[in-house]
Each structure stands twice: as C-alpha cells, then as structure tokens.
C-alpha cells in the first residue's frame, strides 16, 4: 500500500522553542493531508486539514497561529508547533488521502512523539 512518512519520529524540545514536523507521501501525490493529535490512552483528534496550495482549515479550539501548517507540494505538508509548552507534548500523526478503486483510502504516517520540557 501507499506509504506516508513523518520526520522526526520523536523530538524533545525546551519550552518556548518551535518544532517542525514533516509529513511526506512517498509514492503518491496527496492534495489533502490531515494532522491529528493523540494524547495517552485517547483516540486521535483532528487538528487541521491541509490542502496543497491553500490555507489549512483548523478544527475548533486549535490555534492556527500556534500550529502552523504548510502544504507547499503534493507530497509534503509540515506542522510547526510554535512557542511549544509542556501541554503540547503529544503524539502527532499525519495522514494523506489517496484514491483506490472504490472509495478512497487515507494513509497514516508513523507519528511523531513530541515532548516539551
């Protein structure tokens, strides 16, 4: 199946710094990518929808100035956590939308574990 990669897989940063997470579709083009956040023992929560060449659409309660999303190409979307704080520590997962023969499939990256100290 299609592959989505994320980099880095885990990152530790100090409070107040910014962290960039990359999401790449390796063998297909994705006009739409999604960013999720998952806290321990909880389910995935959608943060934003990233569309190539246009502004991202953020879910209610997600600060767009804090979580900057850039989808500059059909294979790359980035999420930048600005001025990170310990409460931003979480597992961040991206997904990319592909097309199958019937319906479509969403392919998920392996996730990035962010720890803010």
Partner 1 sequence: DAKTTQPPSMDCAEGRAANLPCNHSTISGNEYVYWYRQIHSQGPQYIIHGLKNNETNEMASLIITEDRKSSTLILPHATLRDTAVYYCIVNNYGQNFVFGPGTRLSVLP
Task: Summarize as ranges the residues that interact with partner 1 (CB under 8 A).
Answer: 1, 4, 6, 32, 34, 36, 43-46, 49, 91, 93, 95, 97, 102-111, 113
In the bound complex, what is the minimum distance in angstroms from residue 16's beta carbon to partner 1?
A: 26
In the bound complex, what is the minimum distance in angstroms from residue 45's beta carbon to partner 1?
A: 8
Query: Judged by CB, which is closer to partner 1: 43, or 54?
Result: 43
In the bound complex, what is the minimum distance in angstroms from residue 37's beta carbon to partner 1?
A: 11
Distance CA 109, CA 34 (A): 10
Query: Judged by CB, which is closer to partner 1: 16, or 42?
Result: 42
Q: Is the dihedral of CA 9, 106, 25, 30 positive or negative?
A: negative
Shortest CA distance to 36 belongs to which of 87, 98, 97, 93? 93
Determine phi and psi for 91, rounding to 5 degrees.
Answer: -105, 115
């Amino acid at each position: 199946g299609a592959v989505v990669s994320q980099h880095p897989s885990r990152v530790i940063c100090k409070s107040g710094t910014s962290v960039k997470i990359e999401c790449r579709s390796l063998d297909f083009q994705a006009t739409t990518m999604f960013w999720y956040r998952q806290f321990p023992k909880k389910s995935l929560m959608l943060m934003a929808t990233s569309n190539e060449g246009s502004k991202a659409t953020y879910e209610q309660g997600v600060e767009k100035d804090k979580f900057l999303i850039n989808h500059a190409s059909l294979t790359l979307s980035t999420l930048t956590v600005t001025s990170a704080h310990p409460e931003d520590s979480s597992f961040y997962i991206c997904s990319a939308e592909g097309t199958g023969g019937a319906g479509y499939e969403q392919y998920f990256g392996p996730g990035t574990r962010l720890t803010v100290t």
